[in-house]
């Protein structure tokens, strides 16, 4: 207004000097006054409860209060399942340990008894295995000799049978036939001699005594021939066939005994081998029990896999009071006794409201201040955003986030309070208004726009990204528009 008035006075002065008509002068003055008034109304600054729509870079910044935690933390305790072990030694809490340092010593007495029993059993089974192997070797030697003798006997029977069929029986048959032929010739000769003597007996040239002797020789030759024929028939029809049948039966019996002996030997050797295998399996099981007991004894000494700060676990005593674990306590398998956070790399765990989560993405930079060291300005990077939200006490939902701290200090401890500012991706050349100026109904978002003439009017707008203070306006407003922050009636 102060800039408009000098111009107005200068215009009136010039009109007076030039001798303008009074009516025109009055009309000109009125127009100038009106223009000055409009200019004054349209160029006044922001009033309380109003905001002048601006254009610029919108930089989302999400605040977060979290706690310092180690990026990696190892748990140590009793690893033997189903067994309660007594703690004989325990690293002092708060001690910075190196990899390989002893953290816990459990009482190995229960496993030492198992080891002694398993070793005694292994010695006994080792003796049994040696005896079983010796018995198997002896059985194999004996069976081999018996089978060899039975095979020789069978081969002998087969050779005797072959000799009898091919040589013995035919030879005796030929000898008997030859003897039969001789007996027949003897009889013929005796008959011829007797017939030759008969004429001489009648004439008295041969004595009766000599004739009777010749007749006796004939009768003897006839009897010998008859006996030889009977013997030959018996030999050919009965004796030789019987011998061959007996030898066949003997050979078959020897073969059957050889086969039975082989089967019995095979079964006996398999049984002996099975006994050796069973003893070996039992010995292997005893050795496994020895190794298992030795492993359990080794597990009773718990050492650090990596460096870190020793933290004792909490337990409840008989009175129900919560306290730290100590020497003399007992721990079941799978129970954590000491936690060893790695302090060489720290991170921050916190939660971000649901309304701010869309500003964030892994990899964005973070400014950090620890309450324990307020003078230090730290940096970090947003590492992870949880995918499952949870309701807070005020019914607002939030999501867990993890921030990896760039710096490290040996004085940093888990549980320290960290105040963070996560810088989201900036929106360049954005038109924005305060979030308080954004209203909504069933039809969408709108803002109350004020002007120099008349009261505020509702105008539909399209909202883009928002921060804790400002909201991006993509449609509905222009730079320089005025919006009401407080809701109007």
The reply to whether 61-107+310-425 and 111-297 are identical in fold is: no
Would you state the pLDDT for residue 45?
A: 53
Stretch 19-46: mean pLDDT, rounded? 44
Out of 261-270, 303-312, 348-357, pick the least confident.
Answer: 348-357
Whole-angstrom distance, CA of residue 319 vs CA of residue 73: 30
Write down the domain spans for the chain: 1-44, 61-107+310-425, 111-297
Distances (CA, A) of 461 to 29, 133, 472, 478, 480: 41, 95, 10, 11, 15
Give the tens place of pLDDT for each residue, 193-249.
888 888 887 777 778 888 888 889 889 989 998 999 998 899 889 998 999 999 899
Stretch 464-488: mean pLDDT, rounded? 82
Out of 11-15, 245-249, 290-294, pick the least confident.
Answer: 11-15
Q: Are 330 and 85 in contact (CB under 8 A)?
A: yes
Give the tens place of pLDDT for each residue, 266-276.
999 999 999 99
Would you state the pLDDT for residue 382?
A: 92
Would you state the pLDDT for residue 33?
A: 41
Q: What is 61-107+310-425's CATH topology?
A: Elongation Factor Tu (Ef-tu); domain 3 (2.40.30)
Would you state the pLDDT for residue 14?
A: 52
Whole-angstrom distance, CA of residue 363 vs CA of residue 353: 19
Stretch 264-291: mean pLDDT, rounded? 94
Would you state the pLDDT for residue 41?
A: 42
Give the tens place of pLDDT for each residue, 412-427.
888 899 999 888 777 8
Q: Residue 263: count other Cβ atoms within 10 Å of its Cβ.
A: 10
Residue 371 has pLDDT above 90, yes or no: yes
Whole-number CA gyration radius for the chain: 63
Whole-angstrom distance, CA of residue 199 vs CA of residue 13: 221
Residue 474 three-state SS: strand
Stretch 64-82: mean pLDDT, rounded? 89
User: What's the mean pLDDT when you consider all of the chain?
Assistant: 84
Q: Report whether CATH 1.10.287 matches the domain 111-297.
A: yes
Would you state the pLDDT for residue 423?
A: 82
DSSP secondary structure, 32-77, as one string:
HHHHHHHHHHHT--PPTTEEE-EEEEE--EEEEEEEEEEEEEEEEE
Give the tens place of pLDDT for each residue, 77-124.
988 888 899 999 999 998 889 999 999 999 999 899 999 999 999 999
Residue 341 has pLDDT above 50, yes or no: yes
Residue 394 three-state SS: coil
Give the tens place of pLDDT for each residue, 374-428.
999 999 999 998 887 776 665 678 889 999 999 888 888 888 999 998 887 778 8
* CA-angle at 427, arms to 422 and 431, nearest 5°: 125
Would you state the pLDDT for residue 21?
A: 46
Residue 483 has pLDDT above 60, yes or no: yes
Would you state the pLDDT for residue 409?
A: 86
Confidence of residue 125 (pLDDT cuts 50, 70, 90): very high
- End-to-end, the C-alpha distance of the chain in Å comes to 31
Q: Are 327 and 90 in contact (CB under 8 A)?
A: yes
Would you state the pLDDT for residue 76?
A: 93
Stretch 240-260: mean pLDDT, rounded? 91
């Amino acid at each position: 207004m102060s800039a408009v008035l000098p111009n107005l006075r200068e215009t009136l002065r010039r009109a007076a000097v030039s001798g303008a008509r009074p009516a025109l002068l009055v009309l000109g003055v009125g127009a100038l006054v009106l223009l000055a008034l409009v200019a004054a109304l349209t160029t006044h600054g922001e009033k309380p409860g109003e905001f002048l729509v601006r254009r610029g870079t919108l930089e989302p910044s999400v605040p977060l209060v979290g706690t310092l935690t180690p990026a990696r933390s190892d748990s140590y305790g009793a690893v033997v399942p189903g067994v309660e072990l007594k703690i004989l030694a325990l690293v002092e809490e708060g001690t910075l340990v190196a990899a390989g340092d002893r953290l816990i010593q459990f009482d190995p007495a229960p496993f030492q008894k198992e080891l002694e029993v398993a070793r005694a059993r292994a010695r006994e089974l080792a003796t049994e295995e040696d005896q079983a192997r010796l018995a198997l070797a002896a059985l194999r030697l004996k069976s081999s000799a018996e089978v060899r003798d039975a095979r020789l006997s069978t081969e002998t029977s087969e050779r005797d049978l072959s000799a009898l069929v091919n040589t013995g029986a035919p030879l005796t048959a030929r000898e008997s036939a030859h003897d039969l032929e001789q007996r027949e010739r003897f009889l013929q000769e005796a008959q011829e001699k007797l017939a030759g003597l008969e004429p001489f007996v009648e004439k008295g040239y041969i004595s009766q005594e000599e004739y009777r002797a010749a007749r006796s020789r004939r009768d003897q030759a006839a009897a010998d021939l008859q006996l030889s024929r009977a013997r030959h028939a018996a030999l050919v029809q009965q004796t030789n066939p019987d011998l061959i049948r007996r030898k066949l039966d003997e050979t078959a019996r020897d073969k059957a005994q050889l086969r039975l002996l082989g089967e019995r030997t095979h079964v006996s050797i398999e049984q002996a081998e099975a006994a050796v295998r069973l003893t070996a399996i039992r010995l292997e099981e005893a050795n496994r029990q020895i190794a298992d007991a030795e492993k359990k004894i080794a597990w009773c000494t718990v050492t650090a896999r990596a460096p870190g700060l020793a933290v004792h676990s909490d337990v409840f005593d008989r009175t129900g009071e919560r306290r730290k674990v100590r020497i003399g306590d007992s721990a079941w398998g799978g129970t954590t006794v000491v936690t060893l956070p790695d302090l060489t790399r720290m991170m921050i765990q916190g939660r971000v409201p649901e309304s701010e989560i869309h500003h964030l993405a892994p990899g964005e930079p973070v400014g950090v201040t620890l309450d324990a060291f307020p003078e230090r300005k730290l940096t970090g990077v947003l590492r992870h955003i949880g995918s499952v939200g949870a309701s807070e006490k005020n019914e607002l939902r939030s999501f867990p986030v993890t921030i990896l701290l760039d710096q490290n200090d040996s004085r940093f401890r888990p549980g320290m309070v960290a105040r963070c500012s996560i810088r989201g991706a900036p929106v360049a050349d954005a038109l924005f208004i305060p979030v308080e100026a954004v209203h909504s109904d069933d039809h969408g978002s709108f803002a109350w726009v004020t002007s120099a003439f008349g009261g505020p009017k509702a105008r539909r707008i399209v909202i883009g990204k928002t921060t804790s203070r400002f909201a991006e306006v993509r449609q509905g407003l222009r730079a320089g528009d005025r919006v009401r922050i407080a809701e109007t009636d």
